[in-house]
Chain A
Amino acid sequence: MPEPLRRTVRLTTPPGDVNTVHDFLVELWPDVDTVSNVDRISIETALIELAANVMQHADSDGSGLTCEFTIVVSDDAIEMVVRDTGEPGEIQLVGAEMPELDAESGRGLALISALVDEVAYAQEGGHNVWRLKRARTTGA
């Protein structure tokens, strides 16, 4: 069994934004080419939703935020850890429900819950830490 592949990117907003996180994933995929298309798009969507949420809600005074995104791709699962220096989150990640069809916002957390198997949040050493995990649909 090959070693899990682990990559980390750190960014500060601004100028970092969700595109910085997206570019990080785009650069990663060629090195883990056994990841299926549905896993790849599910992970991309979940991580970008979480990044957007962190950037919007953990930085309510607009003073900027430093975040660290780590992804670990192993044979049976893909795990993501997001750590930020923002305000303690009171974000309900699990069980967030889809809003009405005509709502223009409020789908992000429900979407994350639908895309990954495990969602966890903790405060560790003054940081907000989110952990997402998705079992791979087809093994390497």
Chain B
Amino acid sequence: MKIDVVDGPGGVVVLKPEGRLNMVAAPAVREAVSSIVDSGRSKVAVDLSGVEFIDSSGLGALISGLKTTRQAGGDLRIAGANDQVKLVLSLTNLERVLTPYDTVENAYGDA
């Protein structure tokens, strides 16, 4: 899976995975968040606008990233989720901890 990492507004690091976030791709997302936190940054926004599909492995990687960033005093927020991602977040109740924002800019609008 291709994952772009770029600097966003307000010190936020934007992670943009492309394609299917499944059991094949999940480890790369997990590692990408870990390496951001290892480099001393902890506010992460995951731009899901290029993700066409997520499964429970992909959700696990996002939860892992959420815990890693929060332990470092930051946060992980998601934006740009399609209908499939929103359905899966809803059925797993994870929208309570991973609120789907429309855009990366909105994700940290309160920061």
Contact = CB atoms under 8 A, between A and B. Distances in A.
A20 B23 CA distance: 12
Interface residues of B, number: 25
Contact of A111 (B24, B83, B92, B96): B92
Contacts, number: 74
A38 B22 contact: no
Contact of A114 (B53, B67, B91): B91
Given A101-B97, A102-B63, A102-B67, A41 B56 contact: no
Main secondary structure of the interface of B (DSSP, over half): helix
Interface residues on A, range: 20 to 34
Interface of B: 20, 22-24, 53, 55-57, 59-61, 63-64, 66-67, 83-84, 87-88, 91-94, 96-97
17 contacts: A18-B22, A18-B23, A19-B20, A22-B53, A38-B87, A41-B83, A52-B57, A101-B63, A101-B93, A101-B94, A103-B63, A104-B63, A104-B64, A106-B56, A107-B59, A110-B92, A114-B91
